[in-house]
Amino acid sequence: MSLVTILRIPFIWGFIGLVIGAILGANDLAIWLVAILLISFLVFMKFSGPAKDDGEGSLFAGGSAIMLAWIVGFIIRGVLL
């Protein structure tokens, strides 16, 4: 699989957000990393080309997966620590 094909999977973006949330929590560095991750997601969407009908939902789901997984990550961190 190519890198573009892997990055089209929204769970990859969510996993990165979960790792950031679980390791760093909700501090300044984590917020900067999530912002950089969201900007890189938007750049990826720009260069990945137009969405097709069958894969449109999974292409756009990555952005919300980043935010949701980051929130779940720092909730898990707060409960465990």
- The model's pLDDT over 55-66, given as tens digits with 9 standing for 90+, comes to 777 778 888 999
Please check the confidence at residue 1 and state whether its pLDDT lies above 80.
no
Distances from the Cα of 3 to the Cαs of 12, 27, 72, 78, in angstroms? 11, 30, 26, 33
Kindly report the pTM of this predicted structure. Answer: 0.86
Residue 73: what pLDDT? Answer: 94
Please check the confidence at residue 75 and state whether its pLDDT lies above 90.
yes
Q: From its phi and psi, is residue 9 left (phi > 0), alpha (psi between -120 and 50) or beta?
A: beta
Residue ranges per structural domain of the chain? 18-46+58-81
For residues 70 and 53, give the distance between their C-alpha atoms in angstroms, rounded to a whole number. Answer: 28
Residue 47: what pLDDT? Answer: 86
Per-residue pLDDT tens over the stretch 10-51: 899 999 999 999 999 889 999 999 999 999 999 988 888 777
